[in-house]
Amino acid sequence: MGKTITEKILANASHRSEVCPGDLIWADIDVLFTHETVGPRVFAQSFEELGGKIWDPNKFAIFIDHYNLPSTIAHANVVKFTIEWAKSVGVKHFYNLCGPEHQVLIEEGFIRPGRVIIGTDSHTTTGGALGAFATGIGSTDCAFSLATGKIWLRVPTSLRINWEGTLPQGVMAKDVALRMIGTIGHGGATYKACEFAGPLIDNMSIDGRIVLSNMAVEMGAKNGIINPDEKTNQYLKTMIDAPITSIQSDEDADYEKEYYFNGDDLEPLVALPHSVDNVKTISEVEGIQIDGILIGTCTGGRYEDMEAAAHILRGKKIHPDTYAIVIPASRKIYEKMLLKGLLNIFLKAGCIVTYATCGPCAGHLGGLMANNEVRVSAQNRNFKGRSGSSTSKIYLASPLTCAASALKGELTDPRKYL
């Protein structure tokens, strides 16, 4: 019986000829990262007790992305502590005000096929879009891994999620993700390796694939992975000058279960409050009044997302009773938006364009939600209190749907503007 890409990566990392689902392994880490909210301020003492020496400074990165810029004195002190700690232990890769870690890790060449990527954030699964095994851990585990370069894992069983067909006009990768989550359920893939495959995935852009792996954790997945192909290689060659490992699932690999979807008849989708698997088509919920929209974050803030939203907003004005927040997923994306004229389009439409940050998606600065406020957002989660008041409501949708909704001040089918 053949092996899945996840099993092959974990076998290599644990120096075994093969591993099977359920095996307990010690795996070598290729990249470990953390951020200020659950990083050094939580594990600094434990790390000191383990010797206080980073096992390999070239393989560790710290990000300031949740509390930037700090909105409270407490947040400012956390950022200050993180900066000082990083200097004291000799952190080589430190990123402040560069954007959410998942996008920046990709841009800086940390994510590559066959690597084991570990981070103190649930959306670490994002790295699977480039053929890496990427998963999140807690702060205590991070202290141990930082000192040893190893992680304890149970090899997950794999689910193969097949997509046929093509995406219709007005449908984006976010809609593909919501379709899967609505079917499999929030937590329906807990501790599983979700492997996305099929012609639709093959034809999808890297930006789109990143959305799928990012959202895999919303099904409870241990990792969300896509077999690397020539598109992956060409994408990586623009960022790194190093050999790229070729690793693929075997044709006769064993999966716990296979799902089959077809994109041909897929509509724009919306996840209703307060669960990411409470998914409806836009035609079922169109007309619900909103107060504002958010386009951005590590899920919906890549250049492809910005370009799509700008296409709808070009030459138009958002509804006078609606606000629109635009947050690029990295400083580099922000710079590209500036060079390509997208910032001007958003500003003329009446949007607020901010710097790259996790910000309101994580319930921090830059657009917290008031009591009973309603927002449609390209972010990844919509549970109660995620982005502010526990009485606020978040509808999750694609950047296209968000942009169209901003124009009418209500949930709107983006296909009307294409």
Q: What pLDDT is recorded for position 300? A: 94
Q: What pLDDT is recorded for position 70? A: 86
Q: What pLDDT is recorded for position 337? A: 97
Does the pLDDT of residue 385 top 80, yes or no? no
CA 20, chain centre distance (Å): 27
Query: Which of the four pLDDT bands, split at 50, 70 and 90, describes residue 356?
Result: confident
Averaged pLDDT, 193-201 = 98
Query: Which of the four pLDDT bands, split at 50, 70 and 90, describes residue 49?
Result: very high
**Euclidean distance between CA atoms 263 and 66, whole angstroms:** 34
Query: Which of the four pLDDT bands, split at 50, 70 and 90, describes residue 365?
Result: confident
Q: 271-417 domain in CATH 3.40.50.1440?
A: no
Output DSSP code: residue 39: S
Averaged pLDDT, 191-203 = 98
Cβ within 8 Å of residue 151, ≥6 positions away? 26, 27, 29, 116, 118, 137, 141, 145
Whether the Cβ atoms of residue 151 and residue 184 lie closer than 8 Å to each other: no
Q: What pLDDT is recorded for position 382? A: 86
Does the pLDDT of residue 366 top 80, yes or no? no
| 138 C-beta neighbours (distance < 10 Å), count | 11
Does the pLDDT of residue 388 top 80, yes or no? no
Q: To 10 degrees, the CA torsion angle through 10, 102, 123, 154?
A: 10
Label residue 406 left, alpha or beta by phi (over 0 means left) and psi (-120 to 50 means alpha): alpha
Averaged pLDDT, 123-129 = 97
Query: Which of the four pLDDT bands, split at 50, 70 and 90, describes residue 130?
Result: very high
Query: Which of the four pLDDT bands, split at 50, 70 and 90, describes residue 243?
Result: confident
| 70 C-beta neighbours (distance < 10 Å), count | 18
**Euclidean distance between CA atoms 137 and 153, whole angstroms:** 10
Output DSSP code: residue 58: G
Query: Which of the four pLDDT bands, split at 50, 70 and 90, describes residue 108?
Result: very high
What percentage of the chain has pLDDT greater than the value 90? 88
Give me 41's structure tokens: 């301020």
Computed over every residue of the chain, the mean pLDDT equals: 95
Query: Which of the four pLDDT bands, split at 50, 70 and 90, describes residue 141?
Result: very high
Say whether 271-417 and 5-261 share the same fold: yes
Domain locations along the chain: 5-261, 271-417
Q: What pLDDT is recorded for position 387? A: 76
User: pTM for this structure?
Assistant: 0.96
Does the pLDDT of residue 287 top 90, yes or no? yes
Give me 90's structure tokens: 């000799």
Averaged pLDDT, 64-74 = 89
Which residue has 């076998």 as its token pair? 11
Averaged pLDDT, 7-30 = 98
Whether the Cβ atoms of residue 219 and residue 180 lie closer than 8 Å to each other: yes
Query: Which of the four pLDDT bands, split at 50, 70 and 90, describes residue 247?
Result: very high
Averaged pLDDT, 81-95 = 96
Does the pLDDT of residue 362 top 80, yes or no? no
Topology of 5-261 in CATH?
A: Aconitase; domain 3 (3.30.499)
Q: What pLDDT is recorded for position 24? A: 98
Give me 284's structure tokens: 């079922």
Sign of the dihedral defined by the CA atoms of residues 403, 408, 412, 417, in that order: negative
Sign of the dihedral defined by the CA atoms of residues 338, 340, 341, 346, in that order: negative
Closest CA to 217 of 164, 181, 264: 181
Of the given ranges (347-351, 356-360, 378-382), which has the lowest mean pLDDT? 356-360
Averaged pLDDT, 270-292 = 96
Q: What pLDDT is recorded for position 383? A: 83
